[in-house]
Amino acid sequence: MNGAALQTHEPGDSAAGMELVQRALSLYRRRHFTECAELCQQEPSSKQLQWLGMLALTQHAWLDELELEGLQSLAEELLDNQATAQTGRPGTSLRAPPPPTSGGRPMTREGRPLTGLRRRPRSRTATQQGVERALYTAGGRTARPTTAAPAAVPEFGRLGAAASGWPDKPWLSKPLFRFLYHQRGDVRQALELASQERSTDCCGWWSLQRGRCLLRLGMLREAEHQFRKAAEAGDPQPRTFLWLAKALHDLQRSAKLYRELLSQDAVNVEAIACVATHHFYADQPEMALRFYRCVCILLMQSMHLTPNWTYFLNREF
């Protein structure tokens, strides 16, 4: 972000207002995003603080979706070390009902607390309908039980009438899209903003964002079309091909291409590492170990190899 753009002010601006902008900008640069957003709420009429607060909340809620591993594998689900045995040992009281408690949550027969969905049968209809509605929304596809709790961040209020002309300004439309997509989680409104006609999109940035929104909404084929359109732009971004691979999710074809590459260049370290990773996550540790040994022979002094090799050994042994 260009700090000079926030420091420009009209002659009518007061010194106190500019001091507030400088304090908010200092908090933003030190990555105190929550305090910066709270400070920006003190002057809701200032466009500078409104924009800076929007950027602060966006950075606070920013997640790299390409690096998220939200779902566990089937082997990890079946071989959970924390699972309780269904049958008790002879002479133990595992199957005995738990003693009644006055202030605690009701427990299941395995000893785990019940959630609020099963605690009150009379609200089952409304609760079940609300849960089904949440699962069919755009956020339900990416929500995880461990991160479902709302973050303790201030709500930045509405954009107001002053933001009605923002989509026509490229230096405001991109931060507005990131705010809607990351902080608000309003994928449909972000898609509507990204779908507006624009004169310049040389690098395919807006096509990439439309594909991300369509992928969140479950429209895989439309998202693939947008990702391919962004990849065919004049100056495509490297992340475009990563998103296209995520939309296709054809692991067998990608592994086949890497093997064809190894048939032509047998010492390509990146191809060897990718094939090894494919076998590792496909529950084939013996095959992955063979390729990892080849990487060790080719790269004896590599700072990136040691953590991956340690993680592999910890998982297997």
- How many domains does one find in the chain? 3
Taking the C-alpha atoms of residue 95 and residue 112, their distance in angstroms, rounded to an integer, is 13
Does 114 map to a domain? Answer: no
Contact assessment for residue 57 and residue 156, using Cβ atoms and an 8 Å cutoff: yes
User: How does the average pLDDT of the chain come out, rounded?
Assistant: 70
Report the pLDDT averaged over residues 281-292: 83
The 3-state DSSP class for residue 113 equals strand
Same domain, 237 and 276: no
Q: Which domain holds residue 34?
A: 15-63
- Alpha carbon distances (Å) from 32 to 38, 57, 115, 173: 10, 10, 35, 24
- Which sign does the torsion angle of CA 285, 283, 63, 115 carry? negative
The runs of H, that is alpha helices, within the chain are 3-7, 15-29, 33-40, 47-60, 74-78, 124-135, 170-178, 187-194, 205-216, 220-231, 238-248, 251-264, 269-281, 285-298, 305-316
Identify the domain boundary among 194, 227, 249: 249
At CA 174, angle to CA 170 and CA 175, rounded to 5? 120
Per residue in 103-156, pLDDT tens?
566 666 666 666 554 444 444 444 444 444 444 455 555 544 334 434 444 444
Does 189 map to a domain? Answer: yes
Q: Which two tokens stand for residue 23?
A: 């304090």
Does 79 map to a domain? Answer: no
Same domain, 213 and 260: no
Domain CATH number, residue 206: 1.25.40
Identify the domain boundary among 196, 219, 249: 249
Same domain, 241 and 260: no
* Residue 217 C-alpha from the chain's centroid: 14
* Least confident range of 33-37, 81-85, 143-147, 230-234: 143-147
Does 289 map to a domain? Answer: yes
Contacts of 245 (CB under 8 A, 6+ apart): 254
Does 217 map to a domain? Answer: yes
| Amino acid (one-letter) located at 193 | L
Does 257 map to a domain? Answer: yes
Same domain, 230 and 258: no
Contacts of 110 (CB under 8 A, 6+ apart): 84
What is the separation, in whole angstroms, between the first and last Cα of the chain?
Answer: 47
Per residue in 149-178, pLDDT tens?
344 444 444 444 444 555 556 667 888 888
Q: Which two tokens stand for residue 266?
A: 């047998």
> Over the range 185-197, which residues count as b (16 or more CB within 10 Å of their CB) and which as e?
bbbeebbebbeee
Taking the C-alpha atoms of residue 281 and residue 157, their distance in angstroms, rounded to an integer, is 43
Same domain, 306 and 256: yes
Taking the C-alpha atoms of residue 276 and residue 290, their distance in angstroms, rounded to an integer, is 8
Per residue in 188-241, pLDDT tens?
888 988 887 666 667 788 889 999 999 989 898 899 999 988 888 877 777 888
For the chain, percent of residues with pLDDT exceeding 90: 3
DSSP-derived secondary structure letter, 57: H
Same domain, 185 and 245: yes
Does 139 map to a domain? Answer: no
Residue in the block written with tokens 């296709």: 248
| Amino acid (one-letter) located at 94 | L
Does 50 map to a domain? Answer: yes
Identify the domain boundary among 234, 249, 264: 249
